[in-house]
Protein backbone atom coordinates (compact mmCIF):
# COMPACT_ATOMS: atom_id res chain seq x y z
CA UNK A 1 0.00 0.00 0.00
CA UNK A 2 2.73 2.49 0.97
CA UNK A 3 4.52 1.88 -2.34
CA UNK A 4 1.52 3.13 -4.30
CA UNK A 5 0.87 6.01 -1.90
CA UNK A 6 4.45 7.20 -2.33
CA UNK A 7 4.20 6.80 -6.09
CA UNK A 8 0.87 8.50 -6.71
CA UNK A 9 0.30 10.78 -3.70
CA UNK A 10 3.20 11.47 -1.32
CA UNK A 11 6.26 11.66 -3.56
CA UNK A 12 5.44 10.94 -7.20
CA UNK A 13 3.64 14.22 -8.04
CA UNK A 14 6.55 16.26 -6.61
CA UNK A 15 9.13 14.27 -8.57
CA UNK A 16 7.05 14.62 -11.72
CA UNK A 17 6.95 18.40 -11.24
CA UNK A 18 10.70 18.66 -10.63
CA UNK A 19 11.94 16.24 -13.27
CA UNK A 20 9.14 16.36 -15.90
CA UNK A 21 9.96 12.74 -16.86
CA UNK A 22 9.85 11.75 -20.51
CA UNK A 23 9.42 8.03 -21.18
CA UNK A 24 10.45 6.12 -24.28
CA UNK A 25 9.96 2.43 -25.04
CA UNK A 26 7.57 1.74 -22.17
CA UNK A 27 5.78 -0.78 -24.42
CA UNK A 28 8.79 -3.06 -23.96
CA UNK A 29 7.75 -3.75 -20.35
CA UNK A 30 5.40 -6.77 -20.30
CA UNK A 31 2.16 -6.55 -18.35
CA UNK A 32 3.10 -9.61 -16.31
CA UNK A 33 5.93 -12.06 -15.71
CA UNK A 34 9.45 -11.83 -14.34
CA UNK A 35 11.84 -9.36 -15.96
CA UNK A 36 15.22 -7.92 -15.00
CA UNK A 37 15.47 -4.16 -15.54
CA UNK A 38 19.17 -3.36 -15.99
CA UNK A 39 19.80 0.36 -15.64
CA UNK A 40 22.73 2.72 -15.75
CA UNK A 41 23.18 4.58 -12.47
CA UNK A 42 23.72 8.34 -12.33
CA UNK A 43 22.04 9.39 -9.07
CA UNK A 44 20.08 8.24 -6.05
CA UNK A 45 16.95 9.48 -7.80
CA UNK A 46 17.29 6.71 -10.41
CA UNK A 47 15.59 4.41 -7.90
CA UNK A 48 12.69 6.85 -7.64
CA UNK A 49 12.16 7.96 -11.23
CA UNK A 50 12.33 4.44 -12.66
CA UNK A 51 9.43 3.13 -10.49
CA UNK A 52 7.56 6.38 -11.10
CA UNK A 53 7.22 5.75 -14.84
CA UNK A 54 6.58 1.97 -14.79
CA UNK A 55 3.02 0.83 -14.10
CA UNK A 56 4.12 -2.39 -12.37
CA UNK A 57 5.88 -2.48 -9.03
CA UNK A 58 9.67 -2.71 -9.21
CA UNK A 59 11.74 -4.39 -6.50
CA UNK A 60 15.35 -3.41 -5.82
CA UNK A 61 17.87 -5.21 -3.61
CA UNK A 62 19.20 -3.33 -0.60
CA UNK A 63 21.83 -3.98 2.04
CA UNK A 64 20.38 -5.87 5.00
CA UNK A 65 21.84 -3.20 7.29
CA UNK A 66 19.08 -0.84 6.15
CA UNK A 67 16.57 -3.15 7.80
CA UNK A 68 18.32 -3.95 11.07
CA UNK A 69 18.78 -0.52 12.67
CA UNK A 70 17.50 0.21 16.16
CA UNK A 71 15.60 3.09 17.67
CA UNK A 72 13.40 5.57 15.87
CA UNK A 73 15.92 6.13 13.06
CA UNK A 74 16.26 2.40 12.50
CA UNK A 75 12.51 1.94 12.42
CA UNK A 76 12.03 4.80 9.97
CA UNK A 77 14.81 3.57 7.67
CA UNK A 78 13.38 0.04 7.64
CA UNK A 79 9.86 1.34 6.99
CA UNK A 80 10.95 3.68 4.20
CA UNK A 81 13.02 1.15 2.26
CA UNK A 82 10.23 -1.40 2.52
CA UNK A 83 7.65 1.17 1.44
CA UNK A 84 9.56 2.14 -1.71
CA UNK A 85 9.95 -1.45 -2.85
CA UNK A 86 13.39 -2.48 -1.64
CA UNK A 87 14.10 -5.82 0.03
CA UNK A 88 17.09 -6.87 2.15
CA UNK A 89 19.65 -9.25 0.73
CA UNK A 90 19.33 -12.68 2.32
CA UNK A 91 22.45 -13.04 4.46
CA UNK A 92 21.98 -16.74 5.21
CA UNK A 93 24.70 -17.31 2.61
CA UNK A 94 28.19 -16.50 3.82
CA UNK A 95 29.13 -15.24 0.36
CA UNK A 96 27.60 -11.78 -0.15
CA UNK A 97 27.42 -12.24 -3.94
CA UNK A 98 25.60 -15.56 -3.56
CA UNK A 99 23.30 -13.99 -0.99
CA UNK A 100 22.27 -11.32 -3.49
CA UNK A 101 21.74 -13.96 -6.17
CA UNK A 102 19.57 -16.06 -3.86
CA UNK A 103 17.39 -13.08 -2.96
CA UNK A 104 17.08 -11.96 -6.58
CA UNK A 105 16.10 -15.45 -7.76
CA UNK A 106 13.38 -15.59 -5.12
CA UNK A 107 11.94 -12.28 -6.36
CA UNK A 108 11.97 -13.38 -9.99
CA UNK A 109 10.37 -16.73 -9.21
CA UNK A 110 7.46 -14.69 -7.90
CA UNK A 111 7.00 -13.18 -11.37
CA UNK A 112 8.13 -9.70 -10.33
CA UNK A 113 10.15 -6.91 -11.92
CA UNK A 114 13.66 -6.71 -10.46
CA UNK A 115 15.71 -3.53 -10.81
CA UNK A 116 19.51 -3.91 -11.04
CA UNK A 117 22.41 -1.52 -11.61
CA UNK A 118 25.07 -3.55 -13.48
CA UNK A 119 27.78 -0.97 -12.70
CA UNK A 120 27.31 -1.79 -9.01
CA UNK A 121 27.45 1.83 -7.87
CA UNK A 122 26.66 5.33 -9.10
CA UNK A 123 28.82 6.78 -11.83
CA UNK A 124 31.28 9.29 -10.32
CA UNK A 125 31.35 11.50 -13.41
CA UNK A 126 28.38 10.70 -15.64
CA UNK A 127 30.20 8.17 -17.80
CA UNK A 128 29.21 4.51 -18.17
CA UNK A 129 31.46 2.00 -16.40
CA UNK A 130 32.26 -1.69 -16.68
CA UNK A 131 29.44 -3.96 -15.55
CA UNK A 132 29.69 -6.61 -12.87
CA UNK A 133 28.79 -10.15 -13.87
CA UNK A 134 26.18 -10.75 -11.16
CA UNK A 135 23.56 -9.55 -13.62
CA UNK A 136 24.59 -12.17 -16.18
CA UNK A 137 24.75 -14.91 -13.57
CA UNK A 138 21.20 -14.11 -12.53
CA UNK A 139 19.87 -13.95 -16.09
CA UNK A 140 21.54 -17.24 -17.04
CA UNK A 141 20.37 -19.06 -13.91
CA UNK A 142 16.75 -17.93 -14.21
CA UNK A 143 16.30 -17.61 -17.97
CA UNK A 144 14.52 -14.31 -17.39
CA UNK A 145 14.76 -11.62 -20.11
CA UNK A 146 16.77 -8.47 -19.46
CA UNK A 147 15.48 -5.05 -20.45
CA UNK A 148 18.14 -2.32 -20.60
CA UNK A 149 17.08 1.03 -19.14
CA UNK A 150 18.82 4.36 -19.71
CA UNK A 151 18.32 7.03 -17.06
CA UNK A 152 19.16 10.46 -18.47
CA UNK A 153 19.21 13.73 -16.54
CA UNK A 154 18.76 12.34 -13.03
CA UNK A 155 22.24 13.61 -12.15
CA UNK A 156 21.03 17.12 -13.03
CA UNK A 157 17.89 16.85 -10.90
CA UNK A 158 19.88 15.17 -8.12
CA UNK A 159 23.57 16.20 -8.45
CA UNK A 160 26.00 13.60 -7.02
CA UNK A 161 27.04 14.35 -3.47
CA UNK A 162 23.98 16.48 -2.70
CA UNK A 163 20.60 15.77 -1.16
CA UNK A 164 18.93 18.73 -2.83
CA UNK A 165 16.70 18.39 -5.88
CA UNK A 166 16.80 20.83 -8.78
CA UNK A 167 14.42 21.40 -11.63
CA UNK A 168 15.41 19.61 -14.80
CA UNK A 169 14.25 17.09 -17.38
CA UNK A 170 14.56 13.36 -16.78
CA UNK A 171 14.33 10.87 -19.63
CA UNK A 172 13.78 7.15 -19.01
CA UNK A 173 14.46 5.09 -22.12
CA UNK A 174 13.64 1.37 -22.26
CA UNK A 175 15.34 -0.91 -24.77
CA UNK A 176 13.96 -4.10 -26.24
CA UNK A 177 14.06 -7.28 -24.10
CA UNK A 178 17.32 -9.20 -24.38
CA UNK A 179 17.05 -12.99 -24.56
CA UNK A 180 20.09 -15.04 -23.54
CA UNK A 181 18.52 -18.47 -23.98
CA UNK A 182 21.22 -19.27 -26.56
CA UNK A 183 23.55 -19.73 -23.58
CA UNK A 184 21.30 -22.25 -21.85
CA UNK A 185 23.34 -24.73 -19.82
CA UNK A 186 26.37 -22.44 -19.78
CA UNK A 187 25.67 -20.61 -16.52
CA UNK A 188 28.66 -20.15 -14.19
CA UNK A 189 31.04 -19.95 -17.14
CA UNK A 190 32.93 -16.74 -16.43
CA UNK A 191 33.61 -16.04 -20.10
CA UNK A 192 29.93 -16.34 -20.94
CA UNK A 193 28.99 -14.19 -17.94
CA UNK A 194 31.40 -11.49 -19.07
CA UNK A 195 30.07 -11.64 -22.65
CA UNK A 196 26.45 -11.31 -21.47
CA UNK A 197 27.31 -8.44 -19.14
CA UNK A 198 29.20 -6.59 -21.88
CA UNK A 199 26.28 -7.05 -24.25
CA UNK A 200 23.91 -5.40 -21.77
CA UNK A 201 26.37 -2.56 -21.14
CA UNK A 202 26.74 -2.09 -24.89
CA UNK A 203 22.97 -1.63 -25.16
CA UNK A 204 23.00 0.83 -22.27
CA UNK A 205 25.73 2.83 -23.98
CA UNK A 206 23.60 3.12 -27.12
CA UNK A 207 20.45 4.03 -25.21
CA UNK A 208 22.04 6.59 -22.90
CA UNK A 209 24.66 8.11 -25.21
CA UNK A 210 27.22 7.89 -22.39
CA UNK A 211 30.93 7.53 -22.95
CA UNK A 212 32.10 4.08 -21.85
CA UNK A 213 35.09 3.50 -19.57
CA UNK A 214 36.45 -0.04 -19.25
CA UNK A 215 37.06 -0.04 -15.50
CA UNK A 216 34.77 -0.56 -12.52
CA UNK A 217 33.25 2.64 -11.11
CA UNK A 218 33.94 1.41 -7.57
CA UNK A 219 37.64 1.09 -8.35
CA UNK A 220 37.76 4.72 -9.47
CA UNK A 221 35.88 5.86 -6.39
CA UNK A 222 38.25 3.91 -4.13
CA UNK A 223 41.32 5.40 -5.79
CA UNK A 224 42.52 2.15 -7.35
CA UNK A 225 44.88 2.97 -10.23
CA UNK A 226 43.42 2.40 -13.69
CA UNK A 227 44.91 -0.68 -15.34
CA UNK A 228 44.26 -0.87 -19.03
CA UNK A 229 40.92 0.89 -18.78
CA UNK A 230 40.11 2.99 -21.81
CA UNK A 231 37.22 5.00 -23.06
CA UNK A 232 35.44 3.44 -25.97
CA UNK A 233 32.99 0.57 -25.87
CA UNK A 234 32.62 -2.84 -24.23
CA UNK A 235 34.11 -5.93 -25.78
CA UNK A 236 32.49 -7.16 -28.98
CA UNK A 237 29.23 -9.04 -28.55
CA UNK A 238 29.08 -12.79 -28.48
CA UNK A 239 27.73 -14.37 -31.65
CA UNK A 240 24.09 -15.41 -31.75
CA UNK A 241 25.07 -19.03 -31.15
CA UNK A 242 27.54 -19.98 -28.45
CA UNK A 243 31.00 -20.83 -29.67
CA UNK A 244 32.86 -23.73 -28.22
Domain boundaries, the chain: 20-54+111-220
Contact, 121 vs 218, CB < 8 A?
yes
Contact, 242 vs 189, CB < 8 A?
no
CA distance 73 to 31: 37
209 in helix, strand or coil? coil
CA distance 128 to 152: 12
Q: What CATH number has the domain spanning 20-54+111-220?
A: 3.40.1130.10
Give Cα 97 distance to the centre of its chain: 15
Cβ count within 10 A of residue 194: 17
Contact, 136 vs 193, CB < 8 A?
yes
pLDDT in tens, 44-76: 899 899 999 999 999 988 767 777 778 888 888
Mean pLDDT of 233-241: 48
Could you tell me which of 15, 36, 18 has the C-alpha nearest to residue 138?
36
Contact, 119 vs 213, CB < 8 A?
no
Pairing mode of beta strands 171-174, 146-152: antiparallel
pLDDT in tens, 102-124: 889 999 999 999 999 999 889 99
CB burial string 51-64: b at 16+ within 10 A, e below: bbbbeeebbbbbee
Q: According to the model, what pLDDT value does residue 243 have?
A: 36
Which tops the pLDDT comparison, 225 or 76?
A: 76
CA distance 161 to 104: 28
| Stated pTM of the model | 0.86
Q: Per-residue pLDDT for 167 more than 70?
A: yes
Q: According to the model, what pLDDT value does residue 90 have?
A: 60
CA distance 88 to 102: 11
Phi, psi of 183 (to 5 degrees): -105, 20
**Residues of the chain by 3-state class (helix, strand, coil), percent to 5:** 40, 15, 45
CA distance 59 to 48: 11
Q: According to the model, what pLDDT value does residue 131 have?
A: 96
Which tops the pLDDT comparison, 184 or 207?
A: 207
- Which residues lie closer than 8 Å to 70 by C-beta, 6 or more apart? none
Q: Per-residue pLDDT for 227 more than 60?
A: no
Amino acid sequence: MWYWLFKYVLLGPLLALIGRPKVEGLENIPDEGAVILASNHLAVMDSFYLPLVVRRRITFLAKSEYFTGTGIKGWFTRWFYTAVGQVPIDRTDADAAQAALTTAERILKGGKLLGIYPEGTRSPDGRLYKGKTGLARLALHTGVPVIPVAMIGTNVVNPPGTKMLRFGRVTVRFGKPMDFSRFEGMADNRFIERAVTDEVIYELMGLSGQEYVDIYAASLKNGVPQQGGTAGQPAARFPETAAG
